[in-house]
Amino acid sequence: MITMPLCRAVLSASTAVILSAGAAAATPAQTVPKHLNLSNKDNRQSFTVHKGDEIIVRLTGQQTVTSTWAWSAPTAANRSVLRRDAATTRPNGEATAVFHAQADGTTTLDSRLRCVPRRPGSACSHVVVPWQVTVKAR
């Protein structure tokens, strides 16, 4: 036979378990920042990110004996949507930049590929190749 104090203890424990499970389910999931890696192949693509997400752009250039096809440091058209936190260019033509989504909106990330002579008197093409992606932050 179950006594009244034992029944109250079981009921109390059951209620606590049910309430704690309900509280855990009601708590919104914590948003973890994500990383989006972009490269040469992503040219003319569109991407959606969330505020706080990190976007890393790594563009690869090319070298010949007489010239280097080098990328400019990637930039954001709207710096209030995507803040650039770092940017580097290298002698081998590579360019890297790190952006963080700051606000809702749509902007582009842009870079330009140009020929740079490696030797005095070397001829280079005047062609400029654009790289651009569209990023929507929400």
**Rounded-to-integer distance, Cα 87 and Cα 76, Å:** 11
**Rounded-to-integer distance, Cα 113 and Cα 122, Å:** 18
In the predicted model, what is the mean pLDDT of residues 51-57? 97
- pLDDT top residue among 17 and 51: 51
**Global pTM value:** 0.76
Task: Determine contact, residues 59/94, Cβ cutoff 8 Å.
Answer: yes
For domain 35-137, which CATH number applies: 3.40.50.620, 2.60.40.2020, 3.40.50.300, 3.30.70.1140?
Answer: 2.60.40.2020
CA proximity to 103, closest of 69, 61, 53: 53
CA proximity to 80, closest of 129, 137, 122, 127: 137
**Chain position carrying tokens 């929507």:** 136
pLDDT higher than 60, residue 7: no
- Residue 9 has a pLDDT of 43
- Domain ranges in the chain are 35-137
CA proximity to 84, closest of 73, 99, 105: 99
